[in-house]
Amino acid sequence: MIETVIGDYPERISDDQVQFVDQESFLNFGKVLTDDEVIEGRFAYSRVWLANPLSEEACSSDGIPGHPSMTMEKFLHEEAFARIIGNDHVLKIAAAVLDTPPEDLVYVSGYIHRQLLARQWEYSDWFWDGWHTDAQPSMDPLTHCNLWIYFNDCTREEGVTQALKGSVPLMRENLRAGKPIKDRWEEGGTADGIQALIEEVGDNPDKGTWAQAPAGGGFAWGGGLWHRIAPNRSGINRQLVTYEYEPRDNIQKDDWKTKTTAEQRASIIEMLPPEKRYLLEY
């Protein structure tokens, strides 16, 4: 059994779980999809990638050991994926992460990830050790939430993402101190102290914090989290789709409007039940 911070089909998110994600900007969660929804998603996943083939060269970057991600306009025509936008358990988790009632959330973006493994690899094959952050952390509460939904079991064996616990509180502390944006190796910047956290974790998997979850579960996180992908030793493609949410009164990302046409948006909205269409009607 894969252990997660939040269990299967959560009815509520506890105060301790909210406090954890407020502090660390991540948590993993158990199943939010039924077994039938997982199966539907797997077939939809395959159809999307078959319809969007990429050259071998596009999949062989030193920094991307698999297909590059594709954005929402490539996959939300699949009803199995569109329905997840309004999944009650997904919304409860997003609401807890963003400290915002579900009815005040909007869906803003999404990605479909890593269809194929380009090759077997180790960190030593790269020009870096993989640790990175996608954005400067926001102060509490978070204003943007990424939710990864897995369509197969994701463990360290399948190359699941490794999170650097303590990285977000440290970055926030540095931001409050007015430190400038600098690389993690440079002293006196926003990433001051991150290298020490990385060295403490080292290559010891028992010291790592892993985004492990079963099929139908996943991982919620904020862009300021330091993280890295792990080598996939299973030979099985890691199947996941990202769903991104923001508070309606603080929309910062406009992919939903800019990546899709009016015709696509109307079609996708129709796939949601009427009571959930507010997530896309803005």
The per-residue pLDDT of the chain, averaged, comes to 90
**Res 38 pLDDT > 90:** yes
Q: What is the pLDDT of residues 209-255, one digit of tens each?
A: 999 999 999 999 998 899 998 888 888 888 999 999 999 999 999 89
Edge-to-edge strand ranges of the sheet holding 161-163? 209-210, 161-163, 227-229
The pLDDT, as a whole number, for residue 69 is 84
Q: Higher model confidence: residue 271 or residue 55?
A: 271
**What distance in Å separates the CA atoms of residue 62 and residue 67, rounded to the nearest whole number?**
12
The pLDDT, as a whole number, for residue 56 is 67
The pLDDT, as a whole number, for residue 66 is 59
**What distance in Å separates the CA atoms of residue 74 and residue 242, rounded to the nearest whole number?**
13
Helix (H) or strand (E) holding 220: strand 218-221
**What distance in Å separates the CA atoms of residue 238 and residue 139, rounded to the nearest whole number?**
31
Distances (CA, A) of 270 to 51, 92, 107, 266, 275: 23, 22, 15, 6, 11
**What CATH class is the domain 25-279?**
mainly beta
Strand partners, 28: 219
Q: How confident is the model at residue 72 (pLDDT cuts 50, 70, 90)?
A: very high
For the chain, the domains span 25-279
Q: Which residues contact 184 (CB under 8 A, 6 or more apart)?
A: 131, 191, 194, 195, 198
- Which of 68-72, 89-93, 105-109, 192-196 has the lowest average pLDDT? 68-72
Q: What is the pLDDT of residues 94-109, one digit of tens each?
A: 999 999 999 999 999 9
Mean of the pLDDT values across residues 191-209? 89
For residue 160, the number of C-alpha atoms closer than 13 Å in the C-beta half-sphere is 26
Q: Which residues contact 270 (CB under 8 A, 6 or more apart)?
A: none
**What distance in Å separates the CA atoms of residue 145 and residue 143, rounded to the nearest whole number?**
7
The pLDDT, as a whole number, for residue 210 is 93
The pLDDT, as a whole number, for residue 48 is 93
Q: Which residues contact 124 (CB under 8 A, 6 or more apart)?
A: none
